């Protein structure tokens, strides 16, 4: 019916996502996005309504793929609850130290934490997206932890919900530490100690 696109929208979203992740929302200019995606301004503004719309879609793509990958680990019925939590932490450590940088395994820092810190106070849409994502993760974390509490491998001194929030916060702490310069061994140590709190 008309002239077709010469680019893949998802690839463009990935490129934009990487840029927002590296520089942050404010520090990323539309020119940066053109450079990163290889698209002209017209194509970007024709495909996405605005810089902010592009950011929202990139963020949505990021949190969904990231959380989906994490939940797959947490829902792996072949492993014990404690094993699954260890695997989750290992995934975060790999993501923070890994050379390859694909959705679900990003380089230092993560777009979720970055956006929480940079934008959540001023951007209700981003805040809502991140809030939904957090609730999604907490639900599954709580279930895994509850399972571990029932089989005795995870402490029952604390509520499952509280422990789930702790795991979430521990991961955020690891990500901030990573940006602050912590190496792989340091991150693994943080994960080990966080696990101590769960199994104590």
Partner DNA sequence: TTGATTATGGATAGGTCGGTACAAAACTTG
Partner DNA sequence: CAAGTTTTGTACCGACCTATCCATAATCAA
Minimal distance, residue 168 CB to its own copies, in Å = 7
Per-residue contact flags (x/-) with DNA for residues 52 to 91, judged by CB under 7 A? x---------------------------------------
Residues in contact with 136: Cβ distance below 8 Å, sequence separation at least 6, in sequence order: 67, 71
Give 7 or 166: the residue with its C-beta nearer to its own copies: 166
Other beta carbons less than 10 A from residue 121's beta carbon: 10
Please give the backbone phi and psi of residue 120, each rounded to the nearest 5 degrees, phi first.
Answer: -55, -35
Is residue 137 exposed (0-12), middle (13-18) or buried (19+ Cβ within 10 Å)? buried
Binding at 143: pick from DNA, its own copies, none (beta carbon under 5-8 Å per type): none
Contacts to its own copies from residues 148-187, by CB under 8 A: 155, 157-158, 162-163, 165-166, 168-174, 176-177, 179-182, 186
Rounded to whole angstroms, the Cα distance separating 33 from 30 reads 5
Residues in contact with 98: Cβ distance below 8 Å, sequence separation at least 6, in sequence order: 105, 107
Tokens 């200019």 label which residue?
A: 29
Binding at 192: pick from DNA, its own copies, none (beta carbon under 5-8 Å per type): its own copies
Give me the residues that bind its own copies (CB under 8 A), please: 22-24, 26-27, 108-109, 113-114, 116-118, 120-122, 127, 130-131, 134, 155, 157-158, 162-163, 165-166, 168-174, 176-177, 179-182, 186, 189-190, 192-194, 196-197, 200
């Amino acid at each position: 019916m008309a002239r077709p696109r010469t680019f893949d929208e998802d690839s463009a979203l990935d490129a934009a996502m990487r840029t927002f992740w590296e520089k942050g929302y404010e520090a990323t200019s539309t020119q940066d996005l053109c450079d990163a995606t290889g698209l002209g301004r017209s194509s970007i503004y024709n495909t996405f309504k605005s810089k902010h719309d592009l950011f929202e879609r990139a963020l949505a793509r990021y949190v969904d793929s990231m959380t989906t990958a994490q939940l797959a680990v947490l829902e792996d019925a072949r492993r014990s609850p404690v094993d699954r939590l260890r695997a989750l932490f290992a995934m975060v450590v790999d993501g923070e130290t890994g050379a390859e940088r694909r959705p679900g395994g990003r380089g230092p820092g993560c777009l979720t934490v970055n956006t929480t810190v940079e934008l959540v106070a001023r951007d209700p849409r981003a805040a809502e997206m991140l809030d939904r994502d957090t609730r999604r993760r907490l639900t599954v974390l709580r279930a895994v932890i509850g399972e571990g509490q029932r089989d005795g491998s995870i402490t029952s001194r604390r509520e499952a919900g509280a422990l789930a929030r702790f795991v979430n916060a521990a991961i955020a702490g690891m990500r901030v530490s990573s940006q602050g310069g912590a190496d792989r061994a340091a991150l693994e140590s943080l994960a080990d100690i966080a696990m101590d709190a769960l199994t104590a």
